[in-house]
Structure 1
Amino acid sequence: MNTAIYPQTLPPKTAQLFQVLSQTKPEFLSSFYLSGGTALSLQLGHRESEDLDFFTKAPFQPNQIERQLLPYGTLSETELAPGTLNTYLNGVKLQFLLYPYRLIEPLIPWEDVNLSSVIDIACTKLQTIGMRGSKKDFIDLYFLLQQFSLETLLEQIKKKYDESDYSETHILKSLIYFDDAETQPIPRLHQDVSWNKVKETLVSAVKSIPII
C-alpha cells in the first residue's frame, strides 16, 4: 500500500538536514527508523514538526553516532547515555534511542530513510501522554482519532507493549489531564483545529471506554 508523504510539514532547517542525511547515507542510518511527531506529521500532514527522533532495536554506541554526525556541522547540547544520544545538529534537535519494543506494522521507506507506521507511532504517543502530556501530543492524538477509535488504539498498544510497560487506566486518566499543556504554544498547524476542540474530542473518546 502506498503511503502519502507530506514533506511540507518539515521546516526548512529540518528538511535540509533530512535531505543531506538521506543522500549521504551515514553508516548508522540503515539501523534506525524515524518515529515520533515528525514521522507522524510526514504521514498525516497535520502540523509542522522539527525534531528528528530515530529509534532502533539494535544496541549501539552513542559516541560512535556522535562521531559520524560531526562532519555534517555543529553539534551542541549533546547528552550521551547508554542507548541514548540527544543533540542539536545545525540547530535541529536529534534523538537516537534504543527502543526494544516490537513493530506492529512494517516500516515505511521514504527517501532512503525508514519511517515508523502511523499505528506504531500512535501507541508510542499514548504511552508518552501517560508519562507527560504535551499540547502537541494531544493534538497529534486528536488527528489520530480521525482515523482510529480510541478502543482500536488501546487494542493495538497491547500488541506493542507488555502489560508491565504501561497502565491503560493511567493512560485514560492522562488523556483528559490538560493542566500542564494549557500554557504551551500550539504548533504550526497545516490542518485547522482549535485547542478546545482537541480537548472535547479526547474527553468524549475517553468517556466511550468502559473502565473496569
Structure 2
Amino acid sequence: METPVHPRVLNKGNWSTIRRVVADGVTDAWTLAGGTALALQIGHRYSEDLDFFHTRSFDVDDLLARIAQIGDVRVLARTGDRLHVLLADLRISFLKTGMPLLFPAIEYRGLRLADPQDIAVMKVIAIGGRGSRKDFVDLYCLLKGGMNLPRILSLIERRFASIDYNAYHLQKSLVWFDDAEAEPMPRMIRDIEWHSVRREIEGAVKAMSG
C-alpha cells in the first residue's frame, strides 16, 4: 500500500482542529481507522470525520473534559465505551475495540493510522452489519489496490479467532447492496462509478464461491 501522502482528503479547517487535538495529546494512545485513515493513505475520496479506536476501556467523562479544553464541543452520542463529538465542524468518534489490530500503525502528522489490511477487516465487518455506500467504495479501492477477498477473510479469522462468526453470512453481506443503493456516493477524488464498485465486489465474491 502507498505511504500516506494525501492530506487534501481533509480540509484546512479539519487539519487545524486535528493539530490542536494532537498537540494536546488527546489521541496519543488511539489509532485512527475507518475511511479517513484509508483515504489519507490511498487518496481516493474526501472525508469529514475521524474514527479513533482503542483496545482498552476509557473514561468517557475524562476524555470529554480534555476535548472541551481544546474548543467548543458538542456531544453527538455517548455510551460506556463510545464517544461521538463535533469539534469545530469535525466529527470525531472514540470507540473501544475488543480485538487488537494485526499490523503496526503508521505514523503521520502526529496520528497513528491503522494499516490498510486492518482497515479492510473493519470494512468487511461493517458491511456484514449494515454496509454504507462509503464502506463498499472503500472496499472496492482496497481490492483494486491489490488486496484480495480471501486474504481479507483470512485476516478476519486471525483477528477474531476466539469469536464464533459466520463467514458465509459475511460473504452474502458483501453482495447485499439494497441499503447502500439509497445513499449518495461519497465526495470522490478518484473517478469511480457505483456500478463499477458493485461489479468488482460481486466478481470477487463469485470468484471465491466458484
Task: Tell me the TM-score range normalised by the shorter chain.
Answer: over 0.9
What number of residue pairs does the alignment pair up?
Answer: 209
Structure 1 unaligned blocks of 5 or more = none
Percent identity over the alignment is 34
The Cα of 1:80 is off from its aligned counterpart by: 2.2
- Contact kept, 8 Å, 1:63 with 1:80, in 2: the verdict is no
Residue identity in the other structure for 1:126: V
What SS class does the counterpart of residue 184 from structure 2 fall into? coil
Measured in 2, the distance between the counterparts of 1:145 and 1:115 equals: 19
- Corresponding residue for 1:198? 197
Query: Does structure 1 residue 96 correspond to structure 2 residue 94?
Result: yes
| 1:72 alignment partner in structure 2 | 70
Structure 1 runs of 4+ with >4 Å offset: none
Give the gaps of 5 or more residues in structure 2.
none
- Compared CA separation, residues 183 and 55, structure 1 to 2 (3 A): same
Q: Does the CA-based 8 Å contact 2:131-2:180 persist in structure 1?
A: yes
Helix, strand or coil for the counterpart of 1:164?
A: coil
2: CA distance between counterparts of 1:139 and 1:94? 21
Task: Give, in angstroms, the shift of residue 121 of structure 1.
Answer: 0.6
Give the counterpart of 1:37 among 24, 35, 38: 35
TM-score, normalisation: structure 2? 0.93
Deviations 1:18-55 (A, max 9, x none): 12222x233x3211111111001101110011111111
Give the Cα–Cα distance (whole angstroms) in 1 for the partners of residues 38 and 165 of structure 2. Answer: 21
Q: 1:2 to 1:171 in 2, by over 3 A?
A: closer
DSSP-derived class of the 1:31 partner: coil
Instruction: Note the aligned Cα RMSD (angstroms).
Output: 1.7
Give the TM-score normalised by the residue count of structure 1.
0.92
Q: CA deviation at 1:111?
A: 1.3
Which residue matches 2:130?
132
- Determine if contact 2:2/2:41 at 8 Å carries over to the other structure: no
Distance 1:121 1:166 in 2: 18
